[in-house]
Chains A and B, each alone.
Chain A
Amino acid sequence: MGWAHSQNWLCHEACDEELMTNWTIDGVREALAARKISARELTGDFFARIKERNGELNAFLALSPERAYAKADEIDAAIADGEMLPPLAGVPVAIKDVLSTRGTTTTCGSKILENYVPPFDATAVERLDTAGAVILGKTNCDEFAMGSSNENSAYGPVKNPVALDRVPGGSSGGSAAAVAAGLAVAALGTDTGGSIRQPGAFCGVPAMMGSYGRVSRYGLIAFASSLDRIGPFANNVKDVAAVLETIAGRDARDSTSTTSPVPRYTEEIGKSVKGLKIGIPREYFGAGMNTGVRAKIEAGMEVFRKLGCELVDIRMPHTDYAIATYYIVATAEASSNLARYDGVRFGLRAKADSLLAMYKNTRGAGFGAEVKRRIVLGTYVLSAGYYDAYYLKGQKVRALIAQDFRDAYLKVDAIVTPTSPVPAFKLGERTADPLQMYLADIYTVTGSLAGVPGISVPCGKIEGGLPVGLQIFGPAFGEGRVLQLAQAFEAAGGAAV
Chain B
Amino acid sequence: MRERGEKALSSGVRFTGVGVVEKVGGLGRCARILGWRCGILRGKPLKITREDVVRVAELAYLELSEAELETYRKQVDDILEYIGKLNELDTSNVEPMAQVLSEEQGADATLREDVVVGCDLGTEVMRGAPDADGVYFLVPKVIER
Chain A residues packing against B (C-beta within 8 Å): 116-117, 119-120, 211-213, 226, 250, 252, 255-256, 258-260, 286-290, 318, 320-321, 323-325, 327-328, 335, 339, 342-349, 352-361, 363-365, 367, 369, 372-373, 375-377, 379-380, 383, 390, 392-400, 402, 421-422, 434-436, 438-440, 442, 451, 476-477
Pair A396/B91 contact, Cβ less than 8 Å: yes
A-B contact count (CB 8 A): 207
Per the bound structure, the CA–CA distance linking A289 and B1 in Å amounts to 6
Q: Which residues of B contact A324 (CB under 8 A)?
A: 82-86
**Interface-facing stretch out of B19-27, B38-46, B70-78:** B70-78
Contact of A289 among B4, B84, B98, B106 (CB under 8 A): B4
Pair B83/A327 contact, Cβ less than 8 Å: yes
Contact of B109 among A259, A342, A359, A435 (CB under 8 A): A259
Per the bound structure, the CA–CA distance linking A395 and B100 in Å amounts to 11
Pair A260/B106 contact, Cβ less than 8 Å: yes
Return the CB mask of B38-81 against A: 1 if under 8 Å, else 0.
00000000001000110111011111110010011001101110
Pair A349/B5 contact, Cβ less than 8 Å: no
Per the bound structure, the CA–CA distance linking A260 and B78 in Å amounts to 42
Pair B101/A325 contact, Cβ less than 8 Å: no
Q: Which of B61, B106, B121, B142 has the most CB of A within 10 A?
A: B61
Pair B60/A440 contact, Cβ less than 8 Å: no
B129 within 8 A of A: yes
B118 within 8 A of A: no
Pair A345/B4 contact, Cβ less than 8 Å: no
Q: Which residues of B contact A390 (CB under 8 A)?
A: 80, 83
Pair A288/B121 contact, Cβ less than 8 Å: no
Per the bound structure, the CA–CA distance linking A348 and B129 in Å amounts to 9
**A258-B105 contact, Cβ under 8 Å, with A327-B83, A421-B4:** yes
Q: List 5 A-B contacts (CB under 8 A).
A: A256-B101, A286-B4, A360-B62, A396-B91, A402-B97
- The 9 lowest CB-CB distance pairs between A and B, nearest first, are A288-B4, A258-B106, A364-B63, A395-B96, A349-B130, A119-B124, A396-B91, A399-B97, A451-B100
Pair A356/B91 contact, Cβ less than 8 Å: no
Pair B96/A345 contact, Cβ less than 8 Å: no
Min CB gap A439→B, angstroms: 5
Q: Which residues of B contact A402 (CB under 8 A)?
A: 97
Per the bound structure, the CA–CA distance linking A282 and B90 in Å amounts to 22
Q: Closest residue to B61 on the A side, CB-wise?
A: A359
Pair A379/B60 contact, Cβ less than 8 Å: yes
Min CB gap A259→B, angstroms: 4
**A346-B129 contact, Cβ under 8 Å, with A327-B83, A436-B5, A442-B4:** yes
Q: Which residues of B contact A439 (CB under 8 A)?
A: 1, 4-5, 8
Pair B56/A119 contact, Cβ less than 8 Å: no
Pair A400/B56 contact, Cβ less than 8 Å: no
Pair A383/B59 contact, Cβ less than 8 Å: yes
Pair A399/B94 contact, Cβ less than 8 Å: yes
